[in-house]
Amino acid sequence: MRMTKKITSIVLAVLMVVSMMSVMAVSASAATYVAKINDTPYETLEDAFAAAVDGDTITVLADCAGNGIKTPQGKFGTNGLTVDFNGHTYTIDGDLVGSTGTQTLAFQLLKDNKITFKDGTIYSEKAKMLVQNYSDLTLDGMTLTLDNPNYYPSYTLSNNNGNVVIDDTTINANPAGGYAFDVCRYSSYPSVNVTVKGNSVINGDVEMSASKSDPKDGFSLTLESGEIKGTVVVDPTAQTALGESSPEACYTKDAGFDIYVAEIGTNKYATLEAAFAAATDGDTIKVVADCAGNGIKVTPAGKFATGLTVDFDGHTYTVDGETVGSPGTETLAFQLLKNNKVTFKNGTLYSEKAKMLVQNYCDLTLDNMTLTLNNTSYNGAYTLSNNNGNTVIKDTTINANPTTGSYAFDVCRYSSYPSVNVTVTGASKINGDVEVFASKSDPKNGFSLTLESGTMTGDIVLDKTAQNVIAATPEKVEVTKKNTFSQEAPLGYEWKDNGDGTSSIIVAESNPLDPIEKLAADINDGNAFEINSDYLKGTLLGVQKKNAVDDAEITSESHQENGSDMRFVAVLDKDLLDDADDYGFVLAKVGTNKTCANTNFDNLKVNMGNGEKTISAKGTYNTVCGTEYGDPASATPYKYITCAVNSVDDSSKIVARFYYKKDGKTYYAKYAGHNYQYTGCTAGINVSGNIY
């Protein structure tokens, strides 16, 4: 019995010791260390930097995240500080550092220090600059990545002073926009010198600049070995400071160092233009960096009969240099000649300089592209003009130029070219109007617009030439959409269900009064309406009865001087307007006897009895009137609207047509508009013509 008790006591004692050891082990493991200096561990990399003294080496023990880090001036000035990341990544997602009021940095390394970062990765999605450096800095086997989608342009590494060596290191520019690194002789700091060597890869542009064009003690960029997937951008301040006339003379590049923005296989090209020139049928050009340059012409016709693919790989090509085009009309960012097959995918084309972004005559596929034309000094522009061939717009965004009269794209059966067919599919977004057009009303082999899927924010605009072709040879023109695609028919047309899940346009009912049976009995042809003497005076016809005469003579006189305005007025029945969902005028210039450059459609005015307002109008047959209206004279049952064309000059034929919307349908008022032929602007305008 005693022996049993003794054994039991021994077992309990052992269990107690084991239990205490477990508690001690748990207590010891409660602290997680991410860095050490010699044998002293630290829970944060920030703590290790704070504890380090001149000559120390910080060893990173694990992937970790934390606050930005700032090194005091001169703290590591003699023997230096080494940070061995030991294959690990430090992510800055906490508080940022920097000068007072500008704490936006992941690292700020002040001057009179010697610092080495090696064998690791520094990463941030929060900082606006990853490393701001004023010290003697060595990057050895590092990867520096800034990935802040909310800030641009930014710098992954900014070198403002000291001697910097980038050895076997990868530096990635912020994909939202910016530079991989700069060489910036900044403020009162004496000099900065940067050397790239080893197998370094610089993904993005490099910038050279000098504060106030002042070289101080000098600055330099030396490219010994490695590659830049981008360009070296020499700011004019750097050129002035260094007294160099060309950007390339401002830095030193060894023969084996590659600077390029595109590649075909293993061949590398400093410009996208050069890559296009070198490409052969069947090639794929891969764009490896955001870049800018001249317009590009894919020539000759038939060079890429099998096909050329340009994979932008998420990058943007900006056309800010010389534009291209046919002789005398070099205003394009891209011109793609016929009998070629070209695919652009996964990127962005942009220009503020071109008057047309892409003029296409080939079989073109746009796959996951964004096309943006932003030339604010040019009206009536086309972002994409399709004049021949088959175009597929897939998962692509096309943005119309923001100025008046511009189109996202057109379907233009042009000149002697046989046909053009455009399909919108996938999750495409067409931001702006789309024009359908036929050269001289000639369909040739036919043309088509097919809307399968995606969205459109503008209108389909049928030019008079396309209307003529539809009227004469409807079998050669197809404007078709899937029934799931939400888009209004062009003005004067409506969608007809084909019974297979698609609809095609047909001419709509011509008289807006057909569904209206409650017209006031006293509306007669030729209701007189007195207009302000500064504009036209005379008898203008408003909305007519269903049995209105087909033709009528309109004569009038005015006191206008050359360059003044022409106003159109419709007298409308109140009951008709009260029953409408929307109504208004559309104005268009449908032909000229001679140049009418000063006819301005950018400032069309609408007066519905409750004050005049200005509305932007685009192109042919676009809405310029809204749904507001007022009673011009309480003694009459009528309301009226007016539209004005400003700065009328020379001889021009202007058409004003009334439209009426009810229950989702648009009716085209055959007898409501007025077709005037302007003659003798200087001596006054004589107006005559037929009612539409």
Residue 673: per-residue pLDDT: 30
User: Residue 507 — pLDDT band, cuts 50, 70, 90?
Assistant: confident
Q: Which of 316, 312, 422, 306 is nearest to 361 (CA)?
A: 422
What's the confidence (pLDDT) of residue 659?
A: 53
Residue 20, domain member (yes or no): no
Whether residue 474 has a cis bond before it, omega within 30° of 0: no
In this prediction, residue 660 carries a pLDDT of 52
Residue 120 sits in the same domain as residue 165? yes
In a domain, 6, yes or no: no
Task: State whether 675 and 596 are in the same domain.
Answer: yes
Of 280-294, 535-549, 617-631, give the lowest mean pLDDT range.
535-549
Q: Give per-residue pLDDT as tens, 275-327.
A: 999 999 999 999 999 999 999 999 999 999 999 999 999 999 999 999 999 99
pLDDT of residue 630 exceeding 50: no
3-state secondary structure 9-60: HHHHHHHHHHHHHHHHHHHHHCCCCCEEECCEEECCHHHHHHHCCCCCEEEE
> Given this model, what pLDDT does residue 580 score?
63
The proportion of the chain whose per-residue pLDDT surpasses 70, expressed as a percent, equals 69
Residue labelled with tokens 């990765």: 121
In a domain, 196, yes or no: yes
Question: What's the pLDDT at 35?
Answer: 98
pLDDT at 690 (0 to 100):
25
Query: Residue 81 maps to which CATH number?
Result: 2.160.20
- Both tokens of 317, joined, read 């090509």
Half-sphere exposure of 168 (CA within 13 A, CB side): 6
Q: Which domain holds residue 676?
A: 510-692
What is the tally of structural domains in the chain? 3
Query: Does 54 lie in the same domain as 106?
Result: yes
**What angle (nearest 5°) sits at the alpha carbon of residue 347, between those of residues 232 and 368?**
175
Q: What percent of the chain has pLDDT over 90?
A: 64
Tokens 């989608």 sit at which residue?
149
Q: Please give the sequence-ordered ranges of beta strands (E in DSSP) within 498-581, or none if there are none.
A: 502-507, 566-573
For range 375-387, the mean pLDDT:
95
pLDDT at 19: 52
- Where among 245, 260, 275 does a domain terminate? 260
Residue 5 has pLDDT above 70, yes or no: no
3-state secondary structure of 241: helix
- Shared domain for 474 and 543, answered yes or no, is no
At which of 461, 491, 507 does a domain end? 507
C-beta separation of 369 from 348 below 8 A: yes
Is residue 558 in some structural domain?
Answer: yes
Lowest mean per-residue pLDDT among 132-141, 322-331, 387-396, 678-687: 678-687
Residue 5 lies in a domain: no
C-alpha 80/C-alpha 55 separation (Å) is 5
Same domain? For 151 and 191 the reply is yes
Task: Identify whether 7 is part of a domain.
Answer: no
Within this chain, do residues 470 and 582 fall inside the same structural domain, yes or no?
A: no
Name the least confident of 55-64, 468-477, 611-620.
611-620
> How many angstroms separate the CA atoms of 692 and 669, rounded?
8
d(CA 292, CA 153): 15
Interatomic CA distance for residues 429 and 47, integer angstroms: 50
Q: What is the pLDDT of residues 212-235, one digit of tens each?
A: 999 999 999 999 999 999 999 999
How many angstroms separate the CA atoms of 341 and 282, rounded?
Answer: 10
- The answer to the question of residue 657 being in a domain is yes
The domain boundary, picked from 492, 507, 522, lies at 507
The three-class DSSP label of residue 195 is strand
N-terminal to C-terminal alpha carbon distance within the chain = 123
Tell me whether residue 28 is in a domain: no
- HSE value, Cβ hemisphere, 13 Å, CA-based, for 220: 13
What pLDDT score does 347 carry?
98
Spatial contact of 312 and 290, defined as CB atoms under 8 Å apart: no
Q: Is residue 438 over pLDDT 50?
A: yes
